[in-house]
Structure 1
Amino acid sequence: MKIAGFGVEAWLNQYETIATTDISQSSIAALTIGEVAALDGHDGQQFYQHLSALRLNYGWIEGSPEFKRLVSGLYTQVPAANVLQTNGATGANQLAIYSLIEPNDHVIALYPSYQQLYDIPKSLGATVDYWHIEEANNWLPDIEELKALIRPETKMILLNNAVNPTGSLLDEGLLRQVVALARSVGAYVLADEVYEPLDGTPFTSIADLYELGIAVNSLSKTYSVPGARIGWTATQSSELADIFRKYRDYTMICGGVFNDQLAVQILQHRDEVLARNRALVDRNLALYTAWVAQEPRASLIAPHGISVSCLKLNLPVDDETFCKALLDETGVLLVPGSRFDIPGHVRLGYCTDTETLKRGLKLLGQFLRRYDD
């Protein structure tokens, strides 16, 4: 099996550990284990006592009953039995694609977005057509292009909603049009939904709209615990869940007792975590957009409470050369847009802690001045 190098992950693997000011990430500033434990309202004592009594065996293979119940409660049409725990959203995407896509299948992928969603199907021998997002359309796709791409034999449509790295959101109206096209040919629709908006913008999961919809999510982005490595697939269809179960036995076994209980703690206190993160997103987005407004070399289609952004830079050098020089000379880390096939842009993770964002924007602005002469 041949597969392309994973652009964004290869960049971060190489450089994120040496950055002194990391404003490249797409998660909201991570919680500490102590902060997660303290959600119990007793300075973590109840949580730690609970953990200390657990045996570190394989635990619940598909996720504990409480985990499955809590995740099911995030949807309106997904029973707990159809929730399967995975190793993050990347594991969930891999599981669903690996379970359903075969050589010579035809799939359609939103592009550019998260590279997994088109390069894994390609590696399996599928024919992949791109449904393009357009900067001129606020980084949204045109439904007419999808109508032209879909075939009677189309097996799957793969979406990233909201989109990484642009932060653009496919609303319910557009999703319903996607579902109507998919249903007309019996195609699955997979949506990686890890970037849910936090500003009150309505969000609808594909799993609640379509009987062949596959929702993928995790605790890594909106919930601020990427280190827990817990994600899931969620479907209306018990038949689909059973297909995933078979392939899951080959790829994961379990998520781990400790990780599962961290996930349960987060989901039990979801409202508190989201309130913390909503305040951080609002505060940081205001700082970020104010900086963009006064920076002559930058422009932005601002995300709506979504923890990822795609900043356009007017530069006389390519974005990868710029990002490497910026890191070498200032310690500031961005992701070149070319790593997402969006040259001339960078992914800027504005949802880091506020002080890091302030420092990163200041250093970035100072570095940009060298191109003014």
Structure 2
Amino acid sequence: MQIAGFGVEAWLNENERTATTDISQSSIAALTMQEVVDLDGQHGQHFYQQLNQLRLDYGWIEGSPTFKKLVSKLYQHVPATNVLQTNGATGANQLAIYSLIEPGDQVIALYPSYQQLYDIPKSLGATVDYWHIHESNQWLPDIEEFKQLIRPETKMILLNNAVNPTGSLLDAELLKQVVALAREVGAYVLADEVYEPLDGTPFVSIADLYEKGIAVNSLSKTYSAPGVRIGWTATQSTVLADLFRKYRDYTMICGGVFNDQLAILILQHRPEILQRNRGIVKRNLKIYTDWVMQEPRASLIVPHGISVSCLKLDLPVDDETFCRQLLSETGVLLVPGSRFDLPGHVRLGYCTQTETLERGLTKLSTYLRRFDA
């Protein structure tokens, strides 16, 4: 099996630990362990008492019944039995694609977006047709272009909603059009939904729109807990869930007793975490957009309360050279847009700690001035 290098992950693996001001990441500022356990209202006492009684065996293979029930409540039409715990959203995407895609299949993938969604199908021998997002259309795709791509033999449509790295959102109207066309040919629709908008923009899951929809999510982005490494697949279809179960046995035994308990605690206190994170998004997005307005070399299509953004920079050098030099000379880390096939741009994660964002933007502006002469 041949597969392309994972652009963004290779960049972060190489550079994120050397950065002193990291404004590249896609999650909302990560919670500390203390902040998570404090959610039990007893400074973690109740959580650790429960944990101390658990044996470090394999635990619940698919995720505990409590976890599965909490996840199912996030959807309107997904029963708890159809929720399968995975190793983050990357594990969920891999599971679904591995379970359904065979050599010679034709799939349609939103592009550019999260690289896993188009390069894993390619590695399995599928033909991947790109449904392009357009900067001229607020980083959204055109449904008329989709109609030209879909065929009677289309096996799967792969979406990233909201889109990484642009922060653009496929709304319910557009998704319903995709579902109607997918239903005509019997295609599956997988949507990686790890980026939930936190600015009040309405969001609908593919699992609630379509009987052959596959929703993928995790605790990494909206829930500020990427280190827990818990994600899931969610489907209306028990047939799909059972198929995933079979393939899951080959890819993952369990999420781990400790991680499952942390995931439960986080999901039980979802309202408090989302309230915290809405505050971060609102505060930091204003700081960021105010900075863009006064920075002559920067322009931005503003994300919809989503923790990633695709910043356009007017530079006389390519974006990767710029990002390497910026990191070397200032300690500021961005992701080159070329790692997402978006040259001339960078991914800027504005939902980091506010002081980190402010410091990073100040350093970035200072560095950009060298190109003004």
TM-score by length of 1: 1.00
Structure-2 separation of matches of 1:87 and 1:27: 16
Identical-pair percentage: 82
SS across alignment from 2:57:
coil
| Mapping of residues 74-153 of structure 1, within 5 Å | 74-153=74-153
Q: CA deviation at 1:11?
A: 0.1
* 1:184 aligned partner, one-letter code: E
Structure-1 separation of matches of 2:161 and 2:106: 21
Per-residue CA shift, 1:91-145, capped at 9, x if unaligned?
0000000000000000000000000000000000000000000000000000000
Task: Name the structure 1 match of 2:205.
Answer: 205
| Mapping of residues 39-54 of structure 1, within 5 Å | 39-54=39-54
| Mapping of residues 1-373 of structure 1, within 5 Å | 1-373=1-373
Per-residue CA shift, 1:43-102, capped at 9, x if unaligned?
111111111111110000000000000000000000000000000000000000000000
SS across alignment from 1:277:
helix
* 1:127 aligned partner, one-letter code: T
* 2:268 aligned partner, one-letter code: Q
Structure-2 separation of matches of 1:34 and 1:230: 18
Per-residue CA shift, 1:222-266, capped at 9, x if unaligned?
000000000000000000000000000000110000000100000
Structure-1 separation of matches of 2:334 and 2:280: 20
* 1:236 aligned partner, one-letter code: Q
Q: CA deviation at 1:296?
A: 0.1
Per-residue CA shift, 1:338-360, capped at 9, x if unaligned?
00000000000000000000000
Structure-1 separation of matches of 2:56 and 2:201: 40
Structure-2 separation of matches of 1:71 and 1:310: 30
Structure-2 separation of matches of 1:272 and 1:46: 18
* 1:75 aligned partner, one-letter code: Y
* 1:167 aligned partner, one-letter code: G
Structure-2 separation of matches of 1:119 and 1:44: 41
Per-residue CA shift, 1:172-229, capped at 9, x if unaligned?
0000000001000000000000001001100000000000000000000000000000
Structure-1 separation of matches of 2:45 and 2:275: 23
* 1:94 aligned partner, one-letter code: Q
SS across alignment from 1:216:
strand
RMSD (CA atoms): 0.3
Structure-1 separation of matches of 2:296 and 2:204: 36
Structure-2 separation of matches of 1:342 and 1:157: 21
Q: Which runs of 4+ in 1 moved over 2 A?
A: none
Q: Which runs of 5+ in 1 are unaligned?
A: none
Structure-2 separation of matches of 1:81 and 1:175: 25
Per-residue CA shift, 1:150-187, capped at 9, x if unaligned?
01000000000000000000000000000001000000
Structure-2 separation of matches of 1:211 and 1:235: 8
Structure-2 separation of matches of 1:343 and 1:139: 14
Per-residue CA shift, 1:271-310, capped at 9, x if unaligned?
0000000001100000000000000000000011100000
Structure-2 separation of matches of 1:365 and 1:60: 50
SS across alignment from 1:18:
coil
Structure-2 separation of matches of 1:248 and 1:346: 35
Q: Which runs of 5+ in 2 are unaligned?
A: none
SS across alignment from 1:190:
strand
* 1:327 aligned partner, one-letter code: L
Q: CA deviation at 1:270?
A: 0.2
SS across alignment from 1:191:
strand
Structure-2 separation of matches of 1:189 and 1:13: 30
Structure-2 separation of matches of 1:88 and 1:371: 40
